[in-house]
């Protein structure tokens, strides 16, 4: 598949790398020559140093022969215009990154008017994941993911005490015909392996047939618990803070936003209903104490600086706040975060990249997918004849650590796999993978790495 990406920033670069790992041909367009040279030296990508708003640039690269164009510059208006130009010039599908709330209020009108196929908003994407965590706790009455006869359930291990300190290898002795496919520990989702031990306060993601999962759900799900969110403090009034305050206020929570830019405070106060906007520096401990941070049900740090977000999140946790969430863009901080006791840390680039990749792929390979705590993805794939993993025991496949085969639909049967299970042609394979290693997932699905799905 031929894909053009306009904008070589963090998102454009990550999407380009992931698409290359998925064996797509990528053309990267940017006005910054130095960035393109750096990208070209690290990736097998065609670079074009030009302004894509000029239609001659799009014509020169033969945009009418491209399957997809993605615009990820720093300007919403530029992204919308270039996507519209590319569509008019014959590109099959176009996608634009749009972030401003004013545009989001009329997003369908913009799509229809400009003939844009898809619009993604990183700030809205991370907001939805935070909202689901705070307002729903990722626990729905029948699990968070269902496909055919299979469901996935999330619950805290102390709701089923027999599992505490249990090695993963012994899990099936306590809950037969079920499989732990993910563990959320100290704010980090991990794929469990044979040497892992389930710990107190872990949150487990368990796959099984619908009926047994529903029975387990009755034992571990506390009805009504997750509607008690009343007071939330948001540190940082940028776009993510704005969207989150809006959603949580509509949910019924009392929301406070702390923002140090006076003009931004004015904007927030005039565009948000029933939200308290405070002008101040969230790193000022005296201000946090005055605003009763200790009494908050949740604190979310969404400033523009990862270091501030982590420091503020740690401060909130030390003050006894039950739910603390940090927005963190650097993947290098993942290990630090897992040791800090923060409940959840989300990377907007990972979430948006996953969304874009699935839109580019369509439904040709991925039947369905859903994010897990904004850090992992559960997806369903059909096993086709050209897959080179057919008829081989899973234990012999040397699967990447970031991937686990969760379940298999075979005709009318459901298989919860073990090491001896083999994938056969026409199986519907449900797998879970980490967003932080989405490139490995794409290599695996497309067969461009040492081990791939396809011959």
Residues 65, 422: Cα–Cα separation, whole Å: 40
pLDDT confidence of residue 363: 56
Strand locations in 294-411, DSSP E?
298-301, 323-327, 344-346, 366-372, 376-382, 403-410
3-state secondary structure at position 34: helix
Tokens of 387: 């897959």
With a cut of 50, list the residues of the chain below it in pLDDT. Answer: 138-142, 224-226, 448-455
pTM, rounded to two decimals: 0.79
The count of residues in the chain is 455
Residues 4, 88: Cα–Cα separation, whole Å: 15
3-state secondary structure at position 73: coil
Q: Which residues contact 289 (CB under 8 A, 6 or more apart)?
A: none
pLDDT confidence of residue 5: 97
Strand partners, 409: 414, 428
| Chain centroid offset of residue 306 CA | 17
pLDDT confidence of residue 385: 78
pLDDT confidence of residue 341: 76
pLDDT confidence of residue 195: 87
- Report which of 290, 325, 328 is spatially closest to residue 135, judged by C-alpha positions: 325
pLDDT confidence of residue 138: 47
Strand partners, 254: 231
Residues 444, 22: Cα–Cα separation, whole Å: 8
Tokens of 197: 């031990």
Q: Which residues contact 231 (CB under 8 A, 6 or more apart)?
A: 253, 254, 256, 295, 296, 297, 298
CB count in 10 Å sphere of residue 332: 8
Residues 354, 116: Cα–Cα separation, whole Å: 19
Q: List phi, psi (to 5°) of 204.
A: -105, 145
């Amino acid at each position: 598949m031929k894909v053009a990406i306009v904008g070589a920033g963090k998102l454009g670069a990550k999407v380009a790398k992931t698409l290359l790992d998925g064996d797509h041909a990528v053309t990267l367009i940017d006005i910054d020559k130095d960035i393109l040279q750096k990208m070209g030296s690290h990736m097998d990508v065609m670079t074009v140093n030009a302004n894509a708003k000029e239609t001659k640039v799009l014509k020169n690269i033969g945009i009418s022969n491209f399957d997809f164009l993605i615009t990820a510059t720093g300007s919403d208006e530029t992204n919308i215009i270039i996507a519209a130009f590319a569509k008019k010039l014959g590109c099959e599908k176009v996608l634009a990154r749009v972030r401003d709330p004013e545009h989001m209020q009329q997003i369908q009108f913009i799509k229809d008017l400009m003939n844009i196929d898809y619009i993604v908003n990183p700030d809205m994407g991370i907001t939805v994941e935070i909202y689901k965590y705070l307002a729903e706790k990722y626990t729905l009455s029948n699990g968070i993911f269902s496909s055919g006869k299979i469901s996935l359930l999330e619950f805290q291990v102390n709701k089923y005490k027999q599992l505490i300190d249990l090695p993963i290898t012994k899990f099936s002795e306590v809950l037969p015909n079920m499989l732990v496919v993910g563990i959320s520990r100290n704010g980090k989702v991990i794929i469990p392996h044979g040497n892992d031990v389930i710990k107190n306060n872990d949150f487990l993601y368990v796959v099984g047939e619908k009926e047994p999962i529903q029975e387990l759900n009755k034992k571990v799900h506390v009805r009504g618990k997750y509607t008690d969110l009343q007071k939330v403090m948001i540190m940082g009034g940028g776009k993510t803070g704005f969207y989150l305050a809006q959603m949580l206020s509509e949910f019924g929570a009392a929301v406070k936003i702390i923002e140090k830019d006076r003009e931004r405070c004015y904007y927030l106060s005039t565009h948000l209903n029933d939200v308290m906007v405070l002008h101040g520096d969230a790193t000022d401990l005296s201000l946090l104490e005055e605003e009763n941070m200790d009494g908050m049900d949740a604190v979310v740090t969404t400033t523009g600086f990862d270091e501030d977000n982590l420091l503020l999140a740690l401060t909130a946790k030390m003050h006894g706040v039950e739910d603390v969430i940090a927005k963190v863009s650097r993947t290098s901080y993942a290990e630090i975060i897992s040791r800090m006791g923060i409940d959840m840390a989300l990377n907007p680039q990972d979430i948006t990249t996953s969304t874009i990749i699935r839109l580019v792929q369509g439904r040709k390979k991925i039947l369905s997918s859903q994010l897990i705590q904004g850090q992992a993805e559960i997806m369903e794939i059909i096993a086709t004849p050209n897959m080179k993993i057919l008829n081989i025991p899973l234990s012999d496949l040397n699967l990447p650590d970031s991937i686990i085969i969760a379940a298999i639909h075979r005709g009318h049967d459901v298989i919860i796999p073990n090491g001896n299970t083999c994938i056969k042609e026409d199986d519907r394979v449900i797998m879970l993978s980490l967003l932080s290693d989405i490139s490995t997932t794409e290599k695996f699905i497309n067969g461009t790495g040492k081990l791939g799905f396809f011959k």
